[in-house]
């Protein structure tokens, strides 16, 4: 954006119609995000450690494995509470499974993603990330995620 190329990252447009939205954490917020994705024509899948098939059906999403969620989604969005089981839940192997050009969205909690692993994948240019939260907040001016 600073270089005047804000539209270069994903091309001149990024249509979400007929894309797959992977929701990591299908609680109240995750279920609402899935409903919004469906309203925009997205196929929605979900995974979390406690997600049941009944809850997935009630939210009108398909329950998949964590591996499938990362490998087959065009957009992965995180909606989990930070705790012992979720800290560092998203690691290099998960990020490496993502499709080229896929987008990782985290508006939940920064430490759910292993930050050095995310930086490595982002530097390789394989995926994009939309982050509203970080392991350290506020994010220092010289932090690599700002680049």
Residues 24-82 pLDDT 10s: 999 999 999 999 999 999 999 999 999 999 999 999 999 999 999 999 999 999 999 99
Give the C-alpha separation, 96 to 68, whole Å.
12
Q: What is the pLDDT of residue 147?
A: 83
Token pair, residue 70, equals: 């990362």
Cis ω before 138 (30° cut-off from 0): yes
Residue 1 pLDDT more than 60? no
Give the global pTM.
0.90
**Is 109 or 15 the better-scoring residue by pLDDT?**
109
Q: Are the C-beta atoms of residues 105 and 77 closer than 8 Å to each other?
A: yes
Mean pLDDT of the chain, nearest integer? 92
């Amino acid at each position: 954006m600073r270089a005047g190329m804000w539209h270069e990252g994903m091309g001149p447009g990024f249509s979400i119609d007929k894309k797959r939205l992977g929701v990591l954490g299908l609680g109240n917020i995750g279920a609402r995000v899935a409903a919004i994705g469906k309203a925009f024509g997205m196929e929605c899948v979900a995974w979390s450690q406690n997600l049941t098939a009944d809850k997935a059906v009630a939210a009108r999403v398909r329950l998949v494995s964590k591996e499938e969620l990362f490998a087959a989604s065009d957009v992965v969005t995180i909606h989990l509470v930070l705790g012992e089981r979720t800290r560092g839940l998203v690691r290099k192997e998960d990020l490496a499974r993502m499709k080229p050009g896929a987008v990782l969205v985290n508006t939940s909690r920064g430490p759910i993603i292993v930050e050095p692993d995310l930086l490595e994948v982002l530097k390789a240019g394989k995926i994009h990330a939309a982050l509203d939260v970080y392991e350290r907040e506020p994010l220092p001016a010289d932090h690599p995620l700002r680049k």
